[in-house]
Structure 1
Amino acid sequence: MAQTSLASWLSYIEGQHPSEIELGLNRGSAVLARLNLSRPKCKVITVAGTNGKGSTCAMLTQYLSSQGYSVGTYTSPHFLAFNERIALNDSPCDDDVICRAFEAVEAAREGISLTYFEFSTLAALWVFDQSKLDYWVLEVGLGGRLDSVNMIDTDVAVVSSISLDHFDWLGDNIDVIAQEKTGIARKGKLLISGVVNPPSTIASTALEIGANLRQKGQDFNFELDQNSWSWSGNDVYFENLPVPSLPLQNAATVIAVLVYMGLSPAHADLVDLFSKAQLMGRFQKVATSPDVYIDVAHNPEAAIELANRISTLPRKPVAVCGMLKDKDVASVMVHLADSFSDWFCSDLAGPRGAKADELIRHIAHSSPSLGLSAMAFNSVSDALSAALVKAEADQRSVIVFGSFVTVSDYLALNQSKE
């Protein structure tokens, strides 16, 4: 039966494969070959990493667009609408464009079973092909080497960071995870690593592939100096750059991508980029009286970044937290337990959702001597309502964090009130 709306298409593609996730390139690559897509006029940039993929893609897209290039950006997951995943010049595609892409993929797959992510990736590539763009910026969904984004040979591979996450799929060995993520690189092509203290497998995998590796801390560096920062590498030096609202280490990686690609960014253009760069859900202030921030931090590395951001606030904020149980909840709480005055923890729905009581146990274990206030709720809505009352009474901010699901629930609640 022909699908007549984006909602019906999304329901359809969710049922086309028995597993939500099945890593591998064979199925998607077979369909990709039948689609016979062209490449962008300039380059494909593919971004992998445990954290920082989204902000790296956002800053690259915003810079390239500001220079007059046409850019297609594919990211995941989305917050409120699937359209967020497929953007042209930093604006989500409309329903009709995505539906036409799904029709093209459906016609080409000829019975091949595709996962939701494979179907979505192929649709995005079809949209970009039809749009005759200068650049494609592609965010890896999970891992790297076997992620469906890796169906496309990249011109510039970027690894933003490496830490332990997705244990069920990538294992609990940092060297193996680095090897998987570095697997997006191609022979004779650039590989930019923004990884701090990189595992040796990044260099060894790059050597095995034959990629041209440039690493943070070796080939390029950055330094924070109070209210500004500087970058150096490839005989280029930038100073007095504004500190962006997005993570600084990812901004440094973005400059490396631009410099080593040969785009020769001007200092004024970088100042403009880092003054304006933003991305939904990354320590984003979304309300006042009381102030409310949303952050998708859901693993230890992101928790450290969030703790640093919180430390700039005048008083300890109140937490609204919901997490998925397949994340390293214990380590997240170790880094954040002392960052909040009060915790309002929420169950998350679905088989992957952790219970609020489980979160509270980890909080208590992380800081047994602090006597923190922590309460459990059945939903983000209930946790948020209680947190807002407490924050207003104590003149504190509220931080909603722990998962894309948690932040999406918050945004949906706010949208329903408008």
Structure 2
Amino acid sequence: MEKDNNENHHQEHYFEGVEKLLEVWFTRKDGAIQHCDLRKVPREKWVSMLKIVRCEIISMTRNDTIDAYVLSESSMFVSKRRIILKTCGTTTPLLCLKSLLYLVQRYAGYDEVQDLFYSRKNYKRPELQQEPHRTFADEAALLDAMFHDGAAYCLGAVNRDCWYLYTLNPYASPAGHSLSALLAGAADGDDGFGASDGEEGTDGSSSDGGCDGIEDSGSDGADSSDDSLDLRTMNLSGLNKRNVSQRYSISLGGGRGSSTSEADQTLEIMMSDLDPEVMKIFTKQFSANAAEATQKSGIDKILPNVTIDDYLFDPCGYSMNGVLKNGEYMTIHITPEAKFSYVSFESNIPQSSYMDVIARVLETFRPGKFIVTSFANKASVVEDTHKDLLNADILSEFKRRDIQYCHLKNYDLTYALYSKFPS
């Protein structure tokens, strides 16, 4: 990825692989959602929304239940009533939230947010992020300004590796959040895009750098004058530049916005300190194209029967989305540079134990350290990942450094951190 001229010349190249995830579930107050569908939003409107986020669509694959987009900075998944937007680098996904709500209200037929999740791993270089994404406190404050019942959590050691989650508190507010109320305060006819709505730009940013109507209530206390802030712009008209799509997989996919009768589960593996020999595969020097990298690495063997949409960046970096029947998906993003190597894997496939999938992923990428998160609601066939991860013999090559378990109203969450001996 090319650096902006505003960045200090003495600063060495760095790309933040850790991703920010925004996932939103929608419904109707009257329950009549049979004719509602997020996939009714026109593609050009997604393009306009993503300019606010500072990324764009590279490719798309779909089946009867899900549209999967590979982005210049990670991925977006759109199904009937759920959108997952996960972006890495110095993107700004929270700034598109009001624009997203507007598009859903206008095109998809929903009138309420049923549930919302925002999550990410801690950054390696937080000072390079753009507001409001430098600190989780700022991100949570922005969301609190819109949602009165949000709850913010941190799993893991706050001074080491950790994982942040913001979600709506199901104990405090069982009802949905009206889109009209959430969009209140915008000028009459304002769609949240400002002057850029409908315009096909390639600079990767909106005309005002944000979303009209969103108050950045979390900026107090942040050092907005930090000289090291990465202000590079995304020259997305030339995707052969180093627009590496890398994301940490902090997905909160699946049906957590639904009733407990709808099964939902998500496995996420966030890996760092990767084997240099494996990482070479994801460079143009060692692989001619994405299909070759997918085959050489064995990514195509991690899960069977996946329709793969993959992309190899120039000079390095890799992204893939895979879709299965019934809205199941798999996604991998890779930043291969040795000094800040990062790989993320995520899938919402239903199976009783994830340990075989975890083993295949670790064998494929050979990390020195990784985080696992697992979500499952009461209807899920995933039985007890927490007990599996507590079994020290299962991942004998690694030492478990941390494990936490949360029992929330509709789902169970496990967080665990592992590293190789003797690190």
Structure in which a larger fraction of residues adopt strand: 2
Structure number with bigger Rg: 1
Bigger relative CO (Cα 8 Å, ≥ 6 apart): 2
Specify if TM > 0.5: no
Structure in which a larger fraction of residues adopt helix: 1
- Please give the TM-score of this superposition, normalised by the length of structure 2: 0.29
